[in-house]
Amino acid sequence: MGFRLPGTLERFAALIAGAAVPCALFSVGASLRGYRLRGALAPAALMVALKLVAHPLIVWALASYVFGVPPLWAKVAVLLAALPVGVNVYLFAVRYDAGQAESASAILLSSVLSVATLTLVLLWLGPG
């Protein structure tokens, strides 16, 4: 439609949009202080295993064998599937007052473990 915001409003919207992710991550980090990792370790470990191992494998199988996605796009999809648990899980847990400790623990564990798992996925996928 060609509609654009005036310059000042567009800069303000870009500033607010750029602050959203860091604010959400800070919020999760601050709220992690209230939870003990030990209490929610079993459910969080299951979520992390599914997210960091099963999810990329399922995406790879679907992209490669079911949908016939071109190799580069399949690699991108697998890499995105291998990323750690996102903050939305925690935000939904807070919203519905269920599983907050488990989701916060899963974010922490998956962020730490994804350093190793993403390295393995990148080695597995090979160059472009």
Residue 42 in domain: yes
128 residues of the chain, pLDDT tens digit each:
777 878 888 888 888 888 887 787 777 677 667 666 677 889 999 999 999 999 999 999 999 999 999 999 999 999 999 999 988 888 899 899 998 889 888 988 998 999 999 999 999 999 86
Q: What is the pTM of this model?
A: 0.75
Domain count, the chain: 1
Q: Which domain holds residue 114?
A: 7-125
Q: What CA–CA distance (Å, rounded) separates 100 from 42? A: 14
Residue 1 in domain: no
Please, what is the angle between helix 87-95 and helix 7-32, to 10°?
Answer: 80
Q: What CA–CA distance (Å, rounded) separates 44 from 48? A: 6
Residue 34 in domain: yes
Q: How many CB atoms lie within 10 A of CB 17?
A: 9
